[in-house]
């Protein structure tokens, strides 16, 4: 098994209530545990950012299904890399709501989303966007 981590953002095709987002995260957690995937989901308005960790081939297959899911649009991979250990081994899918979780910096996350909406080509992403991805990962690991 080649352990990997993938971070992506997407936008919901329709507004989702907090209850719908919680149900989505709970369903994802159940499915992810079955295939040994861990991670975290962040909901910011109609945007989502998700960290997936597990076997590279399993994550790649899951991301392809997510990318083709008609409930999402603008699905963009921000980072996909091999890792030596999981940041979130205990979470099938932990949901973070920046409105209720003070450990997450909503302004920084909104800037990250804006950056990736502007620059869809990986080569054009700014250093700040890369720093924000790292900051997002750091904030999630501190919240664990």
- Can you tell me the mean pLDDT for 80-96? 79
CATH architecture of structural domain 3-101:
2-Layer Sandwich (3.30)
Task: Give the residue extent of every domain in the chain.
Answer: 3-101
Confidence band for 111, pLDDT divided at 50, 70 and 90? low
Q: CB–CB of 8/66 below 8 Å?
A: yes
| Per-position DSSP letters for 97-139, written without gaps between them | -TTT-TTS-HHHHHHHHHHHHH--SGGG--HHHHHHHHHHHHH
Q: Global pTM?
A: 0.74
Token duo for residue 120: 């869809």
Q: What is the pLDDT of residue 122?
A: 47
Q: Convert the pLDDT of each residue in 46-64 to its tens digit.
A: 888 888 999 999 999 999 9
Mean pLDDT over all residues of the chain? Answer: 78
């Amino acid at each position: 098994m080649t352990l990997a981590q993938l971070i992506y953002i997407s936008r919901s095709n329709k507004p989702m209530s907090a209850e719908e987002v919680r149900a989505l995260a709970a369903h994802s957690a159940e499915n992810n545990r079955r295939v040994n995937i861990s991670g975290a989901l962040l909901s910011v308005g109609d945007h989502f950012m998700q960290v997936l960790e597990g076997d590279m081939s399993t994550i790649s297959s899951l991301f392809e299904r997510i990318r083709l899911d008609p409930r999402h649009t603008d699905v963009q991979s921000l980072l996909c890399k091999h890792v030596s250990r999981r940041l979130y081994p205990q979470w099938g899918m932990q949901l973070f709501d920046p409105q209720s979780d003070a450990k997450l910096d909503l302004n920084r996350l909104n800037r990250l989303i804006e950056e990736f909406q502007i620059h869809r080509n990986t080569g054009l992403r700014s250093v700040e966007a890369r720093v924000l991805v790292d900051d997002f990962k750091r904030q999630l690991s501190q919240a664990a």
